[in-house]
Structure 1
Amino acid sequence: MALIAIFILRKRNSDSGDRQSSNQNPQGLFSILNLEGKLVYDEIVRATNDFDAENCIGNGGHGSVYRAELPSGEVVAVKKFHSPLSCDQIADQKEFLTEVKALTETRHRNIVKFYGFCSHARHSFLVYEFLERGSLAAILSSDAAAQELDWSQRMNAIKGVADALSYLHHDCFPPIVHRDISSKNLLLDLEYEAHVADFGIAKFLMPDSSNWTEFAGTYGYVAPELAYTMKITEKCDVYSFGVLVLEVIKGKHPRDFLSSISSSSLNTDIELDEMLDPRLPAPSRSVQEKLISIMEVAFSCLNKSPESRPTMKIVSQQLRT
């Protein structure tokens, strides 16, 4: 594997005048490059058949994700950026470094495991654990797959995402705001355990910074206050989580419900039957009560006022009761 010496030197030079950016220490990045000799550049290229479309399992704005089975038999997911990280690819450079920094500093069962990265003259990519069920968005878009995701598994997935966001917001320093919580960035393993992925536009909330930034995120999940302010807070993720919860329960994005919400208050006077995915059998009385409780938490996350939304720590605790 190429050890991206030129890339690191370039990054060091570009950060020399920026004290905040200097926190992205190249030495910290170097510590995971060799991957203990288990993963090498040539193996990744061969395992993906030189990143052939047949091995592609997903596409994004900055890169595509491939399934790679290594000679050891281990299967990994490889996010290959659309172009090598040259000086003129500033957006890709930023996403690459942000994702590396975020994932090397986090350890949580509901956050995708990060194995390493490589920047090469020909290919630049990140290596993750491979999660067999794929994205929640793909599952919900398939009637057969959605029917396999029962009410218990859906509630467990919701709790897993809440725990991951509580960890990012309250147990990391500086706190990390994901900024793109959506069904396409939620991956499920064989046991339907949820894992938050894609930290390319994550934001580290520095205590000595205003934390203003450009607009980013997935349409339909972005907090409404970002339409008139570019200040990022943890409450942006809280709103996105509320949308995701309703999507998990409904089996599709709740855009019609969100558009009906009054600008002054949230109307929670809605029948449970109207919110349930019709592809699943009707839940038992005890499950109905749990779903109603979960929906009430989701409604509180969708409050128009960021200050009135609960923190993810409170949300996580409420979902565990």
Structure 2
Amino acid sequence: MTDMKSLLVLLCFLFSAFFASMSHARRSPLLSPLFSPQPQPAPPITVVASPPLVMNVIVEDNHHHMHKELLLAIILASIGVIMTIVSIFCVIVFYRRNRRNSGSKTTQSSDAGGRFPLGPIFSKFNTVKTTPRKGSMAMVDFALLEAVTNNFSDSNVLGQGGFGCVYKAQFEEGVLAAVKKLDGGGYECVREFENELNLLERIRHANIISLAGYCIHEETRFLVYELMQNGSLETLLHGPTRGSTLTWHIRMKIALDTARGLEYLHEHCDPPIIHRDLKSSNILLDSDFNAKIADFGLAVTSGNLSKGHVKISGTLGYVAPEYLLDGKLSEKSDVYAFGVVLLELLMGRRPVEKLGPSQCQTLVTWAMPQLTDRSKLPNLIDPAIRNTMDLKHLYQVAAVAVLCIQPEPSYRPLITDILHSLIPLVPIELGGTHRVIDPLPQA
């Protein structure tokens, strides 16, 4: 920045000196011929001419002198304008180059950190690397991940994924993160790792999990995320607490946040992104129960659907029937999975339950015949929230769930329509528009 100021001062001094010399040259009789040549005295006229002839000679000479002055003025003005433009261009180039050089050291870490404070911490370690292929995503050294996870201790395990465990990691200054370890090194593992890394590098949304960095160590791969203190929706609903920490309003907020994340993927990403594995275990909650969609290993863009058949993947109980039976995948497949999550929030039941040693029943099959019966619906609700909501709101949420799980995809609503239906049911302080008057109405 100091160099730029010095350059500006130097340019101002040169301009002042240039115009001062021009002004002095026009006043000085010694230098004036260089800038404004005076007309030479006319040779003596020996022939006596009539007065009209003398007047013509003087007028013609003055006209010639004015023409030269005008031409010289135009030339000098053009030179001044050109010098000014060139100088301004040089200043702009210098400023941009100086700004790029001074900011390049911090851009990488701030972008990689996303919305949580891992970027500045990563920048302090010499082990952090960057690769042109991954752009702004930080590549973290394996030794650092070993240190912050206590050598991947079992006591730090947060959950279990399809290809490995998720570990709690503590960095400098008490900053916490989650490290997903992908073991095996097989084709599917590598493909999902690359897919999630490429997608989350360019996705930025309040209801989508933030990715800070990655690591590749021999055949094992790691992804570093922001830590969600309340874990997954699945754990809170079906774990030891059995949904006791999730009130009706918090459940509606979780549904609304999830719908907002899906709307971003479907409507605001170009091309649209289909998550393909939306489920309660992939909906993570922070300390304020803000919900974020995670695990994009199976996600696909709508542009890839036209290139060929997409291999059927997903979790039983959440997979839409047209995708499971015919391989037809669309944004409406995510809407179906969202409907199943909505049923989990309402009833506190798992998406698939065992009826016997070799017999299972899906939540959709069990709930669908009863959802439209208003007399039965209140008794189907999770006991942890039963009789704690306005029945009108309950009927409306049930109606949205019924539409989402329709067998025919064309009958399912767009995620934007679902979002607009849920907003009036969520209290203002939780991100909706509902004004709570009586939090515990009579059933």
TM-score normalised by the shorter chain: which range applies? Answer: 0.7 to 0.9
Which residue is equivalent to 1:141? 238
Q: Secondary structure at the match of 1:190?
A: coil
Cα distance, 1:254–1:98 mapped onto 2, change above 3 Å: closer
Output the TM-score relative to the length of structure 2. 0.61
Residue 210 of structure 1 and its aligned partner are, at CA, apart by: 4.5
- Would you say 1:245 and 2:346 are equivalent positions? no
Q: Is the 8 A contact 2:177 2:225 kept in 1?
A: yes
Alignment counterpart, residue 172 of structure 2, candidates 71, 88, 106: 71
Alignment counterpart, residue 283 of structure 1, candidates 365, 388, 396: 388
**Amino acid aligned to 2:190:** Q
Q: Is the 8 A contact 1:212 1:232 kept in 2?
A: no
Listed as ranges, the matches of 1:137-216 within 5 Å are 137-142=234-239, 144=241, 146-206=243-303, 209-210=306-307, 212-216=309-313
Alignment counterpart, residue 52 of structure 1, candidates 153, 167, 181: 153
Choose 1 or 2 for highest CA Rg.
2
**For the residues of structure 2 that align with 1:174 and 1:231, how far apart are their CA atoms?**
18
Unaligned runs of 5+ in 1: 6-26
Listed as ranges, the matches of 1:25-104 within 5 Å are 27-34=132-139, 40-83=141-184, 85=185, 89-104=186-201
Q: Is the 8 A contact 2:258 2:293 kept in 1?
A: yes
Q: Secondary structure at the match of 1:65?
A: strand
Q: Is the 8 A contact 2:250 2:289 kept in 1?
A: yes
**For the residues of structure 2 that align with 1:4 and 1:80, how far apart are their CA atoms?**
20
Aligned residue pairs total 288
Cα distance, 1:257–1:32 mapped onto 2, change above 3 Å: closer
RMSD over equivalenced CA pairs, Å: 2.3
Listed as ranges, the matches of 1:289-300 within 5 Å are 289-300=392-403
Q: Secondary structure at the match of 1:231?
A: coil
Cα distance, 1:149–1:185 mapped onto 2, change above 3 Å: same
Which residue is equivalent to 2:405? 302
Unaligned runs of 5+ in 2: 1-126, 353-361, 425-443
Cα distance, 1:204–1:141 mapped onto 2, change above 3 Å: same
Per-residue CA shift, 1:181-234, capped at 9, x if unaligned? 111111111111111111111111107824531111111111011232113210
Which residue is equivalent to 2:365? 259
Cα distance, 1:148–1:260 mapped onto 2, change above 3 Å: closer
Percent of paired sites with the same residue: 34
Of Structure 1 and Structure 2, the greater helix share is in: 2
Residue 174 of structure 1 and its aligned partner are, at CA, apart by: 1.0
Q: Which has the higher contact order (CA 8 A, sep 6+)?
A: 1
Structure 1 residue runs of 4 or more that deviate by more than 4 Å after TM superposition? 1-5, 254-257
Residue 109 of structure 1 and its aligned partner are, at CA, apart by: 0.9
Residue 4 of structure 1 and its aligned partner are, at CA, apart by: 8.9
